[in-house]
């Protein structure tokens, strides 16, 4: 009952609208990304050369760099587990999520 009352408030519909806008924006974002091959397209056990790390978040690129994960270096997907990608970079294994895997272009 409380929820039904709330949905009549003007702000509620506004929030709904804008969340649709957000998903649209994200879809557009995604289609732009998917034109290029990223790590989610790589098969297991196939070494790939990184072309670019494309991400909006400051810092993560620098962090990946310190692990030796940057353009020109080789990365291999070992397996896909529970929506995470187990990758091999410079003799170490890391678990990364799909979002991060998408920003590693190969």
Partner 1 sequence: MRIALAGNPNSGKTTLFNALTGKIEQVGNWAGVTVEKKEGNVKGELHTGKDKLRVVDLPGAYSISPFTSEESITSSFIKDEKPDVIINIVDATNLSRSLFFTTQLLELGIPLVIALNKTDLLSKKGITIQKETLEKRLGCQVVETVSVSGQGMAPLVQAAIDASGKMQPPAEDSLVGADDKKRFVFVNELVKEAELRQVESVKQTRQDAVDRIVAHKFWGIPIFALVIYAVFSISQSYLGPFLADIFVGGIDQLYGLVEGAMGDQVSPLLSSLLLDGIIGGVGAVVGFLPLIMILFFLLALLEDCGYMARIAVVMDRFFKKVGLSGKSIIPMIIGTGCAIPGVMATRTIRDDRQRRTTAMLTPFMPCGAKLPVIALFAGVFFNNAAWIGTSMYFVGILIIIVGALIVKRITGEGAVRSYFIMELPEYRVPSISRAFVSMMSRAKAFIIKAATIILVCNAAVHIMQTFNWSFQVVEEGMENTSILASIASPFAFLLIPLGFGVWQLAAAAITGFIAKENVVGTLAVVYGISNFIDTEELALVSGAENVAAVMGLSSVAAVAYLMFNLFTPPCFAAIGAMNAEMESRKWLWAGVGFQFSMGYTVAFFVYQIGTLITTGSFGTGFVPGLLAVAVIICILVVLMHRGGMKSSVPAKEMI
**Site of interaction with partner 1 (CB under 8 A):** 2-3, 6, 9, 11-12, 14-15, 17-19, 21-22, 25-26, 45, 47, 55-57, 59-60, 62-68, 70, 73, 76, 78-79, 81-84, 86, 88-97, 99-100, 103
Output 21 or 35, the one with its CB closest to partner 1: 21
SS (H, E, C) 18-86: HHHHHHHHHHHHHHHHHCCCEHHHCCCCCCEECCEECCCCCCHHHHHHHCCCCCCCEEEEEEEECCEEE
Q: How far is the CB of 40 from partner 1 (least distance, A)?
A: 14
Output 41 or 70, the one with its CB closest to partner 1: 70
Q: Is the dihedral of CA 94, 95, 98, 99 positive or negative?
A: negative
Q: How far is the CB of 76 from partner 1 (least distance, A)?
A: 5
Q: How many CB atoms lie within 10 A of CB 48?
A: 20
Report the alpha-carbon distance of residue 59 to residue 65 in Å, rounded: 10
Q: How far is the CB of 44 from partner 1 (least distance, A)?
A: 9
Q: How far is the CB of 78 from partner 1 (least distance, A)?
A: 6
């Amino acid at each position: 009952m409380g929820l039904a009352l709330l949905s009549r408030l003007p702000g509620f519909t506004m929030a709904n609208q804008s969340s649709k806008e957000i998903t649209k924006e994200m879809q557009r974002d995604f289609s732009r990304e998917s034109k290029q091959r990223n790590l989610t397209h790589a098969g297991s056990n196939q070494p790939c050369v990184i072309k670019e790390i494309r991400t909006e978040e400051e810092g993560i690129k620098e962090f990946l760099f310190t692990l030796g994960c940057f353009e020109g270096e080789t990365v291999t997907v070992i397996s896909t587990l529970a929506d995470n990608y187990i990758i091999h970079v410079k003799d170490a294994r890391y678990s990364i999520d799909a979002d991060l895997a998408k920003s590693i272009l190969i």
